[in-house]
Chain A
């Protein structure tokens, strides 16, 4: 695509293939009004944290959730047997 003023004027007039289009969402994004998932605040939102095995190569024999569940603010601890029917 040409870059002279004439080329740009023609491309703008054409409004088709090969011309730059202004995006509708940009004014929001450049002003910090994007509203990404982390920006959404719903009442009662909980946070999830993944617990990974501290061993690089091992078999899971059992998972003891007692201590985690006893912590203040912990609502649930999920492991595979509880969600395997999903």
Chain B
């Protein structure tokens, strides 16, 4: 079992952890760093609930090795709010009822965050394509798309 010490920025804070080289980023974030906002839904990179932001890209953290994050910058759902103030996306999801059971929500939020960085005023079609890697098992897509649209208008 090969272990490696890695360090990266997690939600603006420098973290250092010793990981097995085979360990996945999702597991390290959840188990070692205690940030359970990032969920694991399928372990096969289909569902997108484990989506985090790595160096300015949306990645499915169940398909990325933790060592690949070494020296990088990671943002999870816990990093969206600033000083207790909810991010416009978080507010819009609440307002537009963009969540039901809430399990896919962290992935949806963090993916939408990147989507709006890349395209600040997306069309409905562009939102749907942009979120196509994230599944909502409650099938609440209508309101998720609506919420992203609302957030885009407010940002």
Q: Is B40 touching A32 in the complex (CB atoms < 8 A)?
A: no
CB of B48 within 8 A of chain A?
A: no
A50 CB to closest chain B CB, in angstroms? 15
Cross-chain pair count, CB within 8 angstroms:
54
Contact indicator B103/A31 (Cβ below 8 Å): no
Does chain A have a CB within 8 A of B42? no
A48 to chain B, nearest CB (A): 16
Contact of A30 among B35, B38, B40, B86 (CB under 8 A): B86
Q: Taking chain A's interface residues, is the majority helix, strand, or loop, or is none over half, making it mixed?
A: loop
A32 adjacent to B37 (CB under 8 Å): yes
When the two chains form their complex, are residues A32 and B106 in contact, meaning their CB atoms are under 8 A apart? yes
Number of chain B residues whose Cβ lies closer than 8 Å to a Cβ of chain A: 23
Flag if B78 contacts A26 (CB, 8 Å). Answer: no
Main secondary structure of the interface of B (DSSP, over half): loop
Chain A residues near B109 (CB, 8 Å)? 30
A22 surroundings in chain B (CB, below 8 A): 94
Q: Which residues of B contact A (CB under 8 A)?
A: 30, 35-40, 76-78, 80-81, 86, 90, 93-94, 97, 99, 102-103, 105-106, 109
Extra inter-chain contacts (17) besides given A30-B109, A32-B76, CB under 8 Å: A22-B94, A27-B86, A27-B94, A29-B99, A29-B102, A30-B80, A31-B37, A31-B77, A31-B80, A32-B37, A34-B102, A34-B105, A36-B36, A36-B39, A38-B36, A38-B40, A39-B30
